[in-house]
Structure 1
Amino acid sequence: MTFKRRSFLKLLPALPGLSFISKPAENNVPARITMRFIVASDGHYGQPNTDFKQFHTDLISWVNREKMQKGVDLLFFNGDLIHDDPTLLYDFKNTISNLSVPFYVSRGNHDKVGLDVWQSTWGYPTNHSFAKGEYAFIIGDTSNEKGEYVCPDATWLKNEIAKHKDKKGIFVFLHITPAKWTVNGIECKEVIDLFENTPNIKAIFNGHDHDQDSTKIYGKKPYFFDGHFGGNWGTTYKGYRIVEIYEDSTWQSYQYNPTAAPVLNSFTGKS
Structure 2
Amino acid sequence: MTFKRRTFLKSVPALTGLGLMSDVYAESPTTAKNILRVIIASDGHYGQPNTEFQEFHDDLIGWINREKLQKGVDFTIFNGDLVHDDPTLLYDLKTTLGKLQVPYYVTRGNHDKVAQDVWKSTWGYNTNHSFVKGRYAFILGDTSNEKGEYLCTDPEWLKSEVAKHSDKKGIFVFLHITPVKWTNHGIICQEITDLLENTPNVKAIFHGHDHDQDGTKMLGKKPYFFDGHFGGSWGTSYKGYRVLEIFEDDTWTCYQYNPTAAPILNSFSGKS
Q: State the TM-score, normalizing by the size of structure 2.
A: 0.92
CA distance in 2, matches of 1:222, 1:264: 15
CA distance in 2, matches of 1:256, 1:156: 32
The one-letter code of the counterpart of 2:119 is W
User: Could you say what secondary structure the match of 2:149 adopts?
Assistant: coil
CA distance in 2, matches of 1:160, 1:21: 34
CA distance in 2, matches of 1:74, 1:182: 28
Shift of 1:19: 6.1
The one-letter code of the counterpart of 1:66 is E
State the match for 1:235 in structure 2.
Answer: 236
State the match for 1:49 in structure 2.
Answer: 50
CA distance in 1, matches of 2:2, 2:80: 24
State the match for 1:138 in structure 2.
Answer: 139
Shift of 1:261: 1.3
State the match for 1:22 in structure 2.
Answer: 28
The one-letter code of the counterpart of 1:192 is T
Shift of 1:15: 8.6
State the match for 2:95 in structure 1.
Answer: 94
Q: Give deviations 1:59-98, integer Å, cap 9, x for gaps.
A: 0000000000000011000000000011101100010000
CA distance in 2, matches of 1:265, 1:98: 29
Does 1:13 find its partner at 2:3? yes
Matches within 5 A, 1:69-218: 69-218=70-219
State the match for 1:255 in structure 2.
Answer: 256
CA distance in 2, matches of 1:121, 1:21: 37
What is the number of residues matched between the two proteins?
255
CA distance in 2, matches of 1:225, 1:36: 17
Q: State the TM-score, normalizing by the size of structure 1.
A: 0.92
> Measured at CA, do residues 12 and 141 of structure 1 come closer, stay the same or move farther in structure 2, by a change above 3 Å?
farther
User: Could you say what secondary structure the match of 1:23 adopts?
Assistant: coil
Shift of 1:21: 3.1
Q: Give deviations 1:156-215, integer Å, cap 9, x for gaps.
A: 000011110000000000000000000000000000010000000000000000000000
CA distance in 2, matches of 1:44, 1:102: 20
Give the RMSD, CA atoms, in angstroms: 1.3
The one-letter code of the counterpart of 1:143 is S
The one-letter code of the counterpart of 2:53 is F
CA distance in 2, matches of 1:207, 1:138: 15
Q: Percent identity?
A: 71
> Given that residues 35 and 248 in structure 2 are in contact (C-alpha distance below 8 angstroms), is that contact kept between their aligned partners in structure 1?
yes
> Measured at CA, do residues 15 and 55 of structure 1 come closer, stay the same or move farther in structure 2, by a change above 3 Å?
closer
> Given that residues 5 and 214 in structure 2 are in contact (C-alpha distance below 8 angstroms), is that contact kept between their aligned partners in structure 1?
no
The one-letter code of the counterpart of 1:76 is I
> Given that residues 12 and 215 in structure 1 are in contact (C-alpha distance below 8 angstroms), is that contact kept between their aligned partners in structure 2?
no
> Given that residues 43 and 80 in structure 1 are in contact (C-alpha distance below 8 angstroms), is that contact kept between their aligned partners in structure 2?
yes
The one-letter code of the counterpart of 2:63 is W
